[in-house]
Structure formats: C-alpha cells, structure tokens
A = this chain, B = another copy of it.
Amino acid sequence: MDERESLAAIYEWLPDAGDDAAVVGDLIFTVDMLHQQTDFPEGTTRYTAGWRAVGASLSDVAAMGAEATAAVAAYAAPEFDGDELHAFVRGARDVCELVDGRYVGGDLDTHDEFTVASAVVGRTEAPVYRSTAAVGDAVCVTGTLGRTGAAIRAFERGAHDRGNDLFRFEPRVAAGRALAPHASAMMDSSDGLARSLHQLAEASDCGFAVAWDRVPLDDAVFEEATTDADERECGLYTGEDFELVFTVPRDRLEAARTASPVPVTVVGEVTEEAVTIDGEPVPDRGYTHGD
C-alpha cells in the first residue's frame, strides 16, 4: 500500500478526514510531521525548521479559509541544545505572530532523528472544501510557486542563508480568510501544483486545463533552476510552497482579487475531466523527498 492508497483508505474509514484540515463544529484542526532526512536539507537552521513546521500546519488551516487560533509543536531530537531549541521556539512563534496566531508550546522528546510534529487549531463558521469546484470556474494560485524547489537547489549548492530565506514562507491565513467568501474550492499547494490539481479534481469530480505560461514562478526559480525542465519541476512538482490553489466562479474573480492581500493569478479553468497543462496530461506526482 503506498501513501496515496493508504490515504484513500483512511478517507473511507474517517469521513471527517480528506481535506487540508478536519472540521469539527467551528473548529479547524490539523497535525503534520516533518523529519530531518526528508524535510530539512543540510543547512536548515532550527529557526527555519520551527517556522516551517508550524507554518505547514498554519497553511492547512489557511486552506480551509479559517483564522489560525493557536499552534503547538512536539520537538524530538537526539539531544537538546539550548540555543537550537530556543531558535526553534522563536521560529515557531514568529510564524504564528505573522498570521495573528499564538504559539503556545508543546512537547519534547528524545529521538534519533530530528523530528517535529506540529498541530494548529483554527476557527471559521464557513470552511471552504476541496470538493466544491464547478466546471467553468477559474483556477487560481496565490503568490508565486517554486520557492521550495529553488531553496532545495540553494541548499544543495551550499548557499544555506539563501536556502533558509526561501524556506521561510508566509502561511496564507489572511488570504485564505479573504478568499473564502469567493472561492468555490480551496486547498494548499503542499504537494505541488500538479498533485493539488489532481486532488481537487478527484474531490470535485472535475478536471483542470492549465496554461504553463500563466503559472507564476518565483524569481528564485529562474536563479536556481538550471534548465526549462528544472523550472517546470520546481513550479509543478516540488511543492511545499504552501500557496493556496483555489477555484472561483468567473463573476467573483474580481472581488476575490480585490479582497486578497496577496497577488492572485488565474492559471486555467475547471473542466469536465482530466488535468492538463497546455493540452497535455499532467502526471499525478509530487516531489519524492530524499530519493
């Protein structure tokens, strides 16, 4: 059973699962786990790790259109270095403050590999799901894509400061809340644009037609990627940019753009079936960490 089949099984056993975060009354609730080997390239500071781990969960709450109320994290490491731990806590706290959330602590654990689990609770009366996109809607993304792909390339060439800068993203909590009244469906791009589109397509029983030249690549992609194919890898497949991918009825598009505190780019439209870019089928794959 691979991760995808397992997730499909879980959605069957747990009808509440299957979106970016669970909805329980007016609460939005999510947990994520990140590991040294797969999520924190060599050179990632503990400040960045704290920011990114908690940011990933904040992004899930943003993708439901909710406010981020509070975050906790469990920090597991082979040993506890006071400076590293403090840096982690500062990173976690700073990313929470950026989105008007509160970092309220967590747990410590001894573990061979540096591992972080983060959980965020948020609130909204009107969550936006993945399953409600309609044919003809515009499909949009916030901000730019490919930062994480560029960051990984920066880490690989030893440009650690650059990698850390690119790795610290702003979770789109404010944008998610502003877009929620307009969006017909929404999720975050944590698995990359390609997989996000496939997941939205499956949840909403629709397709997507996207134009590659509309995908808003981050400037860093052009600086770090070496070929056109590499740029495409960063923009479509690497993922973990934690932007919002959402659909919006055409007549709400202007209102959505106006409401959003970050740039919104239309990258294509919702179709009856199949996920295509420039007419070609898009493989349903993401970045395979560390492989």
The quantity of this chain's copies bound in the complex is: 2
Residues of B contacting A81 with CB < 8 Å? 1
A282 within 8 A of B: no
Whether the Cβ atoms of A105 and B18 lie closer than 8 Å is yes
Chain A residues 246 to 291 lying within 8 A of chain B, measured CB to CB, are 289
- In the bound complex, CA of A25 to CA of B107 (Å): 20
From the candidates B10, B16, B23, B110, name the one contacting A85 in the complex (CB within 8 A): B10
- In the bound complex, CA of A106 to CA of B119 (Å): 10
A73 within 8 A of B: yes
A178 within 8 A of B: no
A6 within 8 A of B: yes
Chain A residues 1 to 35 lying within 8 A of chain B, measured CB to CB, are 1-3, 5-7, 9-10, 13-14, 16-18, 22-25, 27, 29-33, 35
A86 within 8 A of B: yes
Chain A residues 88 to 143 lying within 8 A of chain B, measured CB to CB, are 89-90, 93, 102-113, 115, 117-119, 121
- In the bound complex, CA of A25 to CA of B112 (Å): 36
Whether the Cβ atoms of B110 and A38 lie closer than 8 Å is yes
A69 within 8 A of B: yes
A74 within 8 A of B: yes
A72 within 8 A of B: yes
A250 to chain B, nearest CB (A): 33
Chain A count of residues within 8 A CB distance of the other chain: 59
From the candidates B72, B76, B85, B90, name the one contacting A29 in the complex (CB within 8 A): B72
Whether the Cβ atoms of A115 and B33 lie closer than 8 Å is yes
Whether the Cβ atoms of A82 and B9 lie closer than 8 Å is yes
- In the bound complex, CA of A89 to CA of B8 (Å): 13
A203 within 8 A of B: no
A89 to chain B, nearest CB (A): 5
Whether the Cβ atoms of B89 and A14 lie closer than 8 Å is yes
Residues of B contacting A108 with CB < 8 Å? 3, 6-7, 10
- In the bound complex, CA of A70 to CA of B30 (Å): 10
From the candidates B16, B23, B106, name the one contacting A31 in the complex (CB within 8 A): B106
From the candidates B2, B13, B33, B80, name the one contacting A74 in the complex (CB within 8 A): B33
13 extra interface residue pairs, beta carbon distance < 8 Å, beyond A14-B105, A33-B111 = A6-B80, A10-B89, A13-B90, A14-B89, A16-B104, A24-B70, A25-B69, A27-B70, A29-B70, A31-B74, A35-B76, A74-B117, A113-B113
